Amino acid sequence: MTAFGTGEERSGRAGGKVILLGEHAVVYGVPALAVGLERGVVARVLAAETEGHELHVAGWGVVVRPSDGTDLGRAFMALLEASGPAVLGRPRVVHAHVELPPGGGVGCSAAIGVAVARALDPAASLEHVMLRATAWERVFHGNPSGIDVSAAAVGGCLRFVRGEGVRTLVTARTLHLAVGATGRASSTKVMVERVAALREAEPARVGVSFARITELVATAVAALAAGDLEHLGEAMNENHAILGTLTVSTPELDELVAVARGAGALGAKLTGAGGGGCAVALASSEAHALEMVREWRRAGFDGWTSASAARQTDASRLYPAAARP
């Protein structure tokens, strides 16, 4: 769609994500595995002309403008500027419906950026959408790895390497996941800086941890291809333990993981930056995922389920735009 008609609107959608393995290490070139979530963001752009761009996030009760000085407003401006004069010069009102917890480690901000970019310019290529959403993400995260934007824009199961891009993986079995929320937001920027400081203070120890994560990702990729969920889950469990040594887990995240494992999770770990946010658990079936969510709710947490079906796409297709600085 290249032009508006009377009363017409445009929309764009993007999904959230969980990281199965590799968060924090991915910033330093270690591969990471992510899975797109069914929950996400829908953005709609109304046809009516306005005096200036506005972004409405209904569930948050927020309205921002590019020049209002807020982080959300500055991110909106960065996306508009990256979109070029055709978008920047034609003011629109964007309404975003967000199904993800902000600061939850499930790619909420990237999903908003991708959905808004798509709604403002439905003709934009995948590469351009990702570049625009990456400009949005830098406002919040400073030095984002690119994995959140990749998952929001591409979906499915992804292997990501910073500087190389993202590769979609064909999985032998559907992945049934449960996502549990601590209810406490986290700052990716703050947690990335914490790990950077630890790496500077103890380079050898952190280097050993990152090397082990590299091995775990390789194990997980092979397990996904073979449909071996048990070995995938074991890799997730070990990755959570490593993240604990990097001081990014919290008692609430550890409790979410323990409750999930007590309910028979094949694997469970924090997802995203840590310091709050969410945990992800690998289930044997949809019913099993629902049971873990029930157990989390009994323990005072919230959660939901998601599934990622085996993708029959070309597993070698690359989207390098996600990794560009």
List the catalytic residues.
148
Task: Report the SS3 class of residue 273.
Answer: coil
The position carrying tokens 């400009």 is 135
Contact yes or no for 98/114 (Cβ under 8 A): no
Contact in structure between 33 and 92 (CB atoms under 8 Å):
no
Please give the backbone phi and psi of residue 266, each rounded to the nearest 5 degrees, phi first.
-70, -30
Number of continuous H segments (helices) and E segments (strands) in the chain: 10, 11
Distance of CA 233 to the CA centre of its chain: 20
Rounded Cα distance, 122 and 143, in Å: 27
Side chain identity at 257, as an amino acid letter? V
Instruction: Identify residue 283 by its one-letter amino acid code.
Output: A
Tokens 């999903």, located at residue: 111
Q: What is the DSSP letter of 323?
A: G
Amino acid at 274: G
Q: Cα 127 from chain centroid?
A: 17
Q: Are 257 and 268 in contact (CB under 8 A)?
A: yes
Helix orientation angle between 126-141 and 188-201, rounded to the nearest 10 degrees: 70
Distance CA 141, CA 196 (A): 14
Q: How many CA within 13 A on the CB side of residue 159?
A: 21
In the chain, what is the greatest distance between 2 CA atoms, to the nearest angstrom? Answer: 63
Rg of the chain on CA atoms, in Å: 19
